[in-house]
Chain A
C-alpha cells in the first residue's frame, strides 16, 4: 500500500499543490485530473522518487520511501510521457535494454509475445525511427507485460493510441488490478476501467 501525507511541491516560485494526502490500497487505481500545468506530471515524478517534495512524506508498505528506496523502485513501474525509446534501435532491442538497465532477466519469448499482444507483429526488427507515434507508445507500454511491478505510475498512457489499443490497454490495467496490483495515472480521456478514486489538482 502506498500512502502519501501532506505533500507540497513547488516549481520555481509557484506552489503546485500543498497538503496533498491520499492512500492507494492494493487492487485500486487513482486517476489524477487537472488542467495543463497543474502539476500532474510533477506529482507522478514525486511519487516515483525523481523529485524531492518540498514537504510531506511518502510511505510504501508502512515504510518511508527515503529508507526503502531500492524496494520501492523495484515495486514500481514508471512510464513517463516521453517514449524513452532509442530511434536507432528496434523495439525488441529497446525492450531488452530497458530490462537490462533495471537488471531484470530477459526472456526473449516473453518480449516477442508482449510486442505481439500490443499489435506490433512484424515490427519487432524495424528501427523505432520508422514507427508512428501510436506504435512507439505501444512499444513502451509493452513493458507493462514483461516487467513485473506492484504499482504502475503512468503518465498519459492513452496518448496517441487508437480505439483498439485503448481498449487493450484498459484490459491490461484491469488484469493488473485483478491480480492485486495498483495504478496511478493521469489522463484526459474516459477510460472504461472499473470505477477508481480520483484526485483533482
Chain B
C-alpha cells in the first residue's frame, strides 16, 4: 500500500483528473437545467452523489491494470501475505486518491447549489461513509474486467447497478435532511453497506484476480 501511495504522488495527474472530473460534471449541470435556486437545491444531493460516483469510476480502471501489465500482480498472488490483504491495501489507496479528495471538495460544490450548512455536513458524512463502498465494490469490477477488450465500458456496466443502493441511501440522507426529516436511518443503512462491502469485497476481489491471472 505504501508503494501505491508513493506511486500516486509521483502521478499527480491521476487523482487530479478524478477531482476535476467531479467538479466539471457537477458544474455543468446547472448550465443544463438553468440557474433556478430552488430547483438546484432539490437536485443537489443526487447531482453531487452521481458526480462522486462517476469520478471514482475513472481511477478504477487503472487500479490493477498497471500491476497486471508489468507482472507485479503475479508477485502479489505468490506472496505469502494473503492476496485479500494486499487487495484491501489497494482499495484504501484508491479511496485516499479518488474518494477522499471528492469528499473534501463536496462542501464547496454544495455551496454552489445553495445547500444549508447542516445539509452540507450530512453530505460530507454520507460521502465519507459511501465513497469507500464505491472503492470496494469498484475494485471487484476492476478485477473481473482486468485486461479485457473495452474494459472501461464493461466496468461501468458491471459496477453501476451495484452502486445503486449506495447512491439511494447517500443522496437520500441529504435529501431527507433538506426536507426536514432525520437522515439517521439512511446513514445507518449506508454504514451497514459499508461494513458489508469492506468486509467481503477484498476477499471476492482476490478470487476474481486469481481467475484473471490464469
- Interface set of A (CB-CB < 8 Å, partner B): 45, 48-52, 70, 73-74, 76, 78, 80-86, 88-89, 93, 97-98, 100-103
- Contact between B78 and A78, CB atoms less than 8 A apart: yes
- Contact between B81 and A102, CB atoms less than 8 A apart: yes
- Contact between A78 and B74, CB atoms less than 8 A apart: yes
Query: What residues of chain B lie closer than 8 Å to A50, measured between beta carbons?
Result: 74, 77-78, 213-214
Query: What residues of chain A lie closer than 8 Å to B70, measured between beta carbons?
Result: 82-86
Q: Is B10 an interface residue (CB 8 A)?
A: yes
- Contact between B71 and A80, CB atoms less than 8 A apart: yes
Q: Is B28 an interface residue (CB 8 A)?
A: no
Cβ-closest chain B residue relative to A85? B70
Q: A84-B75, A89-B3, A103-B81 are in contact. List 8 more A-B contacts (CB 8 A).
A: A50-B77, A50-B78, A70-B80, A82-B71, A97-B2, A100-B2, A101-B76, A101-B79
Nearest Cβ in chain A — how far from B30, in angstroms? Answer: 38
Main secondary structure of the interface of B (DSSP, over half): helix
- Contact between B6 and A101, CB atoms less than 8 A apart: no
Query: What residues of chain B lie closer than 8 Å to A103, measured between beta carbons?
Result: 79-81
Query: What residues of chain B lie closer than 8 Å to A78, measured between beta carbons?
Result: 74-75, 78
Cβ-closest chain A residue relative to B89? A101
Q: Is B118 an interface residue (CB 8 A)?
A: no
Residues of B in contact, count (CB < 8 Å): 21
What are 30 A-B pairs with beta-carbon distances under 8 A?
Answer: A48-B74, A48-B78, A50-B74, A50-B78, A50-B214, A51-B213, A76-B78, A78-B75, A82-B69, A82-B74, A84-B70, A84-B71, A84-B72, A85-B70, A86-B7, A86-B70, A88-B6, A88-B11, A89-B7, A97-B2, A100-B2, A101-B3, A101-B75, A101-B81, A101-B86, A102-B75, A102-B78, A102-B79, A102-B81, A103-B81
| Of A73, A81, A86, A88, the contact of B78 (CB 8 Å cutoff) | A73
Query: What residues of chain A lie closer than 8 Å to B6, measured between beta carbons?
Result: 88-89, 93
Given contacts A88-B7, A88-B10, A103-B80, contact A52 B214 (CB under 8 A): yes
Interface centre among A48, A49, A83, A88 (most CB of B within 10 A): A88
Query: What residues of chain B lie closer than 8 Å to A102, measured between beta carbons?
Result: 75, 78-81
- Contact between B74 and A84, CB atoms less than 8 A apart: yes
- Contact between A83 and B78, CB atoms less than 8 A apart: no
Query: What residues of chain B lie closer than 8 Å to A83, measured between beta carbons?
Result: 70-71
Query: What residues of chain A lie closer than 8 Å to B77, measured between beta carbons?
Result: 50
Query: What are the 9 closest A-B residue pairs judged by CB atoms, nearest first?
Result: A82-B71, A84-B71, A97-B3, A88-B10, A102-B79, A80-B71, A51-B214, A84-B72, A103-B81
In the bound complex, CA of A103 to CA of B70 (Å): 20
Query: What residues of chain B lie closer than 8 Å to A101, measured between beta carbons?
Result: 3, 75-76, 79, 81, 86
Cβ-closest chain B residue relative to A128? B70
- Contact between B80 and A74, CB atoms less than 8 A apart: yes
In the bound complex, CA of A82 to CA of B147 (Å): 15
In the bound complex, CA of A49 to CA of B78 (Å): 8
In the bound complex, CA of A82 to CA of B69 (Å): 8
Given contacts A86-B7, A93-B6, contact A80 B74 (CB under 8 A): yes
In the bound complex, CA of A68 to CA of B11 (Å): 39
In the bound complex, CA of A70 to CA of B81 (Å): 9
Interface centre among B11, B69, B71 (most CB of A within 10 A): B71
